[in-house]
A and B are shown apart, each in its own frame.
Chain A
Amino acid sequence: MATAVTAQEQRAAELNVISRKQRSLWGDAFYRLIRNRAALVGLVVIGFAALVALFAPLIAPYDPLEQHGKDGLMEPIWTKFFGSQFTNPAYFLGSDTLGRDILSRLMYSSRVSLIIGFVPVSIVVAIGLTVGMLAGYVGGAVDDFLMRVTDVVYAFPDLLFVIIIVATLRGTALGEAYDGLLVIFVGIAVVNWVGVARLVRGQVLSVKNREFVEAARAIGAGPGRIMRKHVFPNILAPVIVTVAFAIPGAMLTEAVLSFLGIGIRPPTPTWGVMINEGFIVFSTTPWPVLLPSLCISIVLLAFTFVGDGLRDALDPRSKM
């Protein structure tokens, strides 16, 4: 009898000829993301920017608001090798019209830009998820409300709506808060939560009728528990991808607003503000425009690569 048992076990072991290591769904997605080189580079860049933002007060050579009138419009020090007369070793990347060090301003700009990237998007996701899940799962009045609101909001070009909100609220007390940061948060949040809510609603609707939800209901799980433990994890993937793209979207919106003159109030530096200021002196020296343009472009590209990578990693159908 004993030998039969071990023979059986041995057999079972042999039969599992093809067995791969077990990996959880999220672990699998993570590895796929890391394997994507563009996404990896993107993550590194974002990490770097975050570090700069975090430690800006410590590593920036100057106070970004400090003006040195007589040193206006210095050019980056390497231009000396190309014959520029206007360099000053004290300002590594040069200075702007009012003599403020560009390098320091760039560093501090990363703070504002990243905050604008993450904070309103978090609000958007929180509201959008809640409303979307309720609309999708419970339906009824919440769903109708969401649909009407969506129709109206979608009728506006989104930038237009943000512009209106920001421009008109600027004069108010809300607009003054944090140099206009709060108003921009509000603008971005109000316009974008609808999109997330719609997406979530659609996902919930398709998950709601799947058999495992029915099974959960059959064993007596209440709507709250079902939404939390069954629906929510299964709708996360597209939401994550949307978030990944919403962050650079918010940063871009701020840059555009600042460029048009209705964004963050000066003298606070953001890349958009710096581009706006630099554009004015464009014909004299391109650097005050080019440098922040480069910064924002790189960061936006990084987020896009990460977003693409996330989308591919989380898509069960893509072969990786």
Chain B
Amino acid sequence: MAQQLLEVTDLHTQFFTRDGVVRAVDGVSFEVAAGETLGIVGESGCGKSVTALSLMRLIPVPPGKIVKGSIMFDGADVLKMDDDEVRGIRGNHIAMIFQDPMTSLNPVLTISRQISEALELHLKMDKSEARKRTIELLDLVGIPSAKKRVDDYPHQFSGGMRQRVMIAMALSCNPKLILADEPTTALDVTIQAQILDLLKNLAREFRTAFILITHDLGVVAGMTQRIHVMYGGKIVEKADTLELFANPKMPYTWGLLRSIPRLDERRKAKLVPIEGLPPDLIAPPPGCRFEPRCQYRHDICKEKEPELVHIPNSKPDHEARCWGTQEGGWLVDTDWHKEVGDERVIEEIKQEVAQLPPEPKPGDGQPPPSAI
């Protein structure tokens, strides 16, 4: 296999607080190839943002600390670099797009200044070159009248525009890898779509690798080649995107998929949330971290933590961290995706259908009753 752009091995990032040591990232390993878009999905607090910040060593050193692991970027270990080298990478080879463009841009500096900064620093441009390039970048990300607006301040832009500015800032030095941490969470739904489209086009045009971090499965569906699901500081499933949606092998992933409301569901169908709360990262349980909330658990799940291994009946690089679906597990070769809840819904649907007035035969000229 060609050398990957990014190889993270056994990363452990912890925060030392008064209440104890929070094991935010507890043994995470993954790779990203050049030009690839990887999605990292999980709920709040699962460690996905901390992972991204760790990659750029942006973790605030007290109280945080990367205690173990290696991050090989382009063949060099980021964790072993000195401060100057790391700064040389930030904004230059790896760039980050943050979640809230409102607070992530400096309110008292013009966007021209904020974008030119990196250009002047890394590409050694002088002021006029940097300014020209800034305007080009703003055009590229779709800011209208870029030349006129380049000296404006962040508060003079709308939320979507601000996020485009952040994207322009991230792209400015042509990085090999861009980390996008919830890039659309703070935006309206319609703007979300625009921004995601923009990112997709940029990824394709500049062959930049992306790590897209989000809690929203809808966002990663159309954007990524592969997806990693994180829970409780660990990766619990790795698969190609389509494979993950079609054939989830970890109950948590399955729970995520099921909790999305669907347009074609019956109106009476209940939303099926995942009950319970995420685990305490200060004192994580000895067994599987998802166990308290899992419908398929057995005793072993409480005692021992499963490893992330290849799962039978799936594509070759599909891995999951679950005793039930692993080789020899009780969920292998079963229809575990359909269970009690589903049967209830199916029963309800059957009863409702029985009570409906008879459908008009085709050709009656009446539209059939809508299913919504």
In angstroms, how far is the closest chain A Cβ from the Cβ of B132?
42
**When each residue 277-294 of chain B gets 1 if its CB lies under 8 Å from chain A and 0 otherwise, what string results?**
101100000000000110
Cβ-based interface call for B275 (8 A)? yes
Distance of A320 Cα from B275 Cα, bound (Å): 30
Cβ-based interface call for A25 (8 A)? no
In the complex, are the beta carbons of A15 and B275 less than 8 A apart?
yes
Interface residues of B in 286-312 (CB under 8 A from A): 292-293
Chain B residues with CB under 8 Å of A11's CB are 275
Cβ-based interface call for A14 (8 A)? yes
In angstroms, how far is the closest chain B Cβ from the Cβ of A226?
32
Chain A residues with CB under 8 Å of B279's CB are 17-18
Between A and B, how many residue pairs show CB distances below 8 Å?
18
Distance of A198 Cα from B24 Cα, bound (Å): 45
Cβ-based interface call for B276 (8 A)? yes
Q: Which residue of B lies closest to A11 (CB)?
A: B275
Cβ-based interface call for A283 (8 A)? no
Chain B residues with CB under 8 Å of A17's CB are 276-277, 279-280, 292
In angstroms, how far is the closest chain B Cβ from the Cβ of A137?
30
Chain B residues with CB under 8 Å of A16's CB are 276-277
Q: Which residue of A lies closest to B282 (CB)?
A: A18
Chain B residues with CB under 8 Å of A15's CB are 275-277, 292-293
Distance of A16 Cα from B277 Cα, bound (Å): 7
Number of interface residues of A (CB under 8 A): 6
Distance of A17 Cα from B293 Cα, bound (Å): 10
**When each residue 11-24 of chain A gets 1 if its CB lies under 8 Å from chain B and 0 otherwise, what string results?**
10011111000000
Distance of A15 Cα from B291 Cα, bound (Å): 10
Distance of A17 Cα from B276 Cα, bound (Å): 8
In angstroms, how far is the closest chain B Cβ from the Cβ of A206?
19
**When each residue 233-244 of chain A gets 1 if its CB lies under 8 Å from chain B and 0 otherwise, what string results?**
000000000000
In the complex, are the beta carbons of A14 and B292 less than 8 A apart?
yes
In angstroms, how far is the closest chain B Cβ from the Cβ of A17?
6
Interface residues of A in 265-285 (CB under 8 A from B): none
Distance of A44 Cα from B3 Cα, bound (Å): 67
In the complex, are the beta carbons of B280 and A18 less than 8 A apart?
yes
Distance of A96 Cα from B329 Cα, bound (Å): 92
Distance of A15 Cα from B292 Cα, bound (Å): 6
In angstroms, how far is the closest chain B Cβ from the Cβ of A215?
25
Chain A residues with CB under 8 Å of B276's CB are 14-17
Q: Which residue of A lies closest to B279 (CB)?
A: A17
In the complex, are the beta carbons of B292 and A18 less than 8 A apart?
no
Distance of A18 Cα from B278 Cα, bound (Å): 8
Distance of A15 Cα from B276 Cα, bound (Å): 5
Distance of A17 Cα from B279 Cα, bound (Å): 8
Interface residues of B in 43-77 (CB under 8 A from A): none
Distance of A15 Cα from B294 Cα, bound (Å): 10
Distance of A119 Cα from B356 Cα, bound (Å): 77
Distance of A11 Cα from B297 Cα, bound (Å): 12
Chain B residues with CB under 8 Å of A14's CB are 276, 292
Distance of A43 Cα from B293 Cα, bound (Å): 47
In angstroms, how far is the closest chain B Cβ from the Cβ of A117?
35
Chain A residues with CB under 8 Å of B277's CB are 15-18
**When each residue 246-283 of chain B gets 1 if its CB lies under 8 Å from chain A and 0 otherwise, what string results?**
00000000000000000000000000000111011000
Chain B residues with CB under 8 Å of A18's CB are 277, 279-280
Distance of A184 Cα from B275 Cα, bound (Å): 64
Q: Which residue of B lies closest to A15 (CB)?
A: B276
Chain A residues with CB under 8 Å of B292's CB are 14-15, 17
In angstroms, how far is the closest chain A Cβ from the Cβ of B206?
40
Distance of A15 Cα from B280 Cα, bound (Å): 12
In angstroms, how far is the closest chain A Cβ from the Cβ of B198?
34
In angstroms, how far is the closest chain A Cβ from the Cβ of B23?
15
In angstroms, how far is the closest chain A Cβ from the Cβ of B344?
13
Distance of A15 Cα from B279 Cα, bound (Å): 10
Distance of A183 Cα from B103 Cα, bound (Å): 51
**When each residue 339-369 of chain B gets 1 if its CB lies under 8 Å from chain A and 0 otherwise, what string results?**
0000000000000000000000000000000
Distance of A187 Cα from B277 Cα, bound (Å): 58
Q: Which residue of A lies closest to B281 (CB)?
A: A18
Q: Which residue of B lies closest to A14 (CB)?
A: B292
Distance of A17 Cα from B292 Cα, bound (Å): 8
Interface residues of A in 1-57 (CB under 8 A from B): 11, 14-18
Q: Which residue of B lies closest to A320 (CB)?
A: B18
A11, A16, A18 pick with most chain B CB within 10 angstroms: A18
In angstroms, how far is the closest chain B Cβ from the Cβ of A90?
53
Q: Which residue of A lies closest to B295 (CB)?
A: A11
Q: Which residue of B lies closest to A12 (CB)?
A: B275
Apart from the given pairs A17-B292, A18-B277, 16 other A-B contacts in the complex at a CB distance below 8 Å: A11-B275, A14-B276, A14-B292, A15-B275, A15-B276, A15-B277, A15-B292, A15-B293, A16-B276, A16-B277, A17-B276, A17-B277, A17-B279, A17-B280, A18-B279, A18-B280
Q: 11 pairs across A/B with beta carbons < 8 Å?
A: A11-B275, A14-B292, A15-B277, A15-B293, A16-B276, A17-B276, A17-B277, A17-B279, A17-B280, A17-B292, A18-B279
Which 5 pairs show the lowest CB-CB distances between chains A and B?
A15-B276, A18-B280, A14-B292, A18-B277, A15-B275
